[in-house]
Amino acid sequence: MTILVTGATGTIGRNVVEQLVKRGADVRALARDPAKANLPAGVTILQGDLLDVDSVRSAFTGVSTLFLLNAVVPDEFTQALIALNLAREAGVERVVYLSVIHSDRYVNVPHFAGKFGVERMIEQMGFNATILRPAYFMNNDLTIKDVVTGYGIYPMPIGSKGLAMIDVRDIGEIAALELIRRERAATPLPLTRINLVGPDTLTGAQAAAVWSEVLGRTIAYPGDDTAGFEKNLRQFMPSWMAFDMRLMSERFLTEGMVPEAGDVERLTALLGRPLRSYRDFVSEISASA
């Protein structure tokens, strides 16, 4: 019984692989360049790309469960549909898919809409699936640490509705637990959706206050300038992706990423421990400066 992990060399995929290995799973990872994968011993690493049908078809040989993670790229939706069609062709019935919270509500945001389309396909194809819907990754804020410490501002336009930020390490562990639960189930398990959230739902001002507390000096929240956010992102990412992120941030302002009743308790029970907090995350990355 083998679990195939796509996106295995990225931040979340790597966490998923490590958690699966810890639990004794037989793990196969798909990587564009196996020589650079640097995954734990015992993981079978196969060269492949989700747009290369032959490599994906080969990777599915002998696989029983799929962890499907697609990067935010222009052809993300196509990659996911190829993977799912080839999984069904290979007889794979169990899937854990990394979607995003509110994929059904952020309908104008390209990578959200694409993920919701994949969710619908998973349902209609009849996979025994867990759809994981994470909120904002607190680890995204690694990229703005220097801005916070150097300029005294928290620059992410996340608004006043609140985001239930989650640590990617918690995402990886929950995904691994769900993969093993499905892999080892004696009978098919029904499709389920799980919102992946952190223990706190933070506004922009509250996130800045956490940084202020940890750093021992005032960090300001300058406001909700989504146009400026897009302009800054265009310095280091393609224009289409920067615009996608701007559209997402605009939905942060109007809707936020707010958990449903019972989400935190469900995840805490699943992990058997508290979820990692944003304050702990900020303390950790600040200490490593």
**With left for phi above 0 and alpha for psi between -120 and 50, is residue 110 left, alpha or beta?**
alpha
Averaged pLDDT score across all residues of the chain: 96
Section 204-227 average pLDDT: 97
CATH (one of 2.60.40.420, 3.40.50.11890, 3.40.50.720, 3.30.70.890) for 2-136+167-197+259-275: 3.40.50.720
Reported confidence tier of residue 289, pLDDT bands at 50, 70, 90: low
Structure confidence by residue, pLDDT tens digits, 57-106: 999 999 999 999 999 999 999 999 999 999 999 999 999 999 999 999 99
Can you tell me the distance from the alpha carbon of 20 to that of 180, in angstroms, rounded to the nearest whole number? 8
Can you tell me the distance from the alpha carbon of 83 to that of 210, in angstroms, rounded to the nearest whole number? 41
How far apart, in Å, do the first and last CA atoms of the chain sit?
42
Q: Are 278 and 204 in contact (CB under 8 A)?
A: no
Q: What is the DSSP string of 56-114?
A: HHHHTTTEEEEEE---S-TTHHHHHHHHHHHHHHTT--EEEEE--TTTTT-TTSHHHHH
pLDDT at site 284: 96
Q: Are 224 and 204 in contact (CB under 8 A)?
A: yes
- 30-34, 80-84, 90-94, 197-201 — which is least confidently predicted? 30-34
Reported confidence tier of residue 36, pLDDT bands at 50, 70, 90: confident
Can you tell me the distance from the alpha carbon of 102 to that of 121, in angstroms, rounded to the nearest whole number? 17
Q: Where are the domains of the chain?
A: 2-136+167-197+259-275
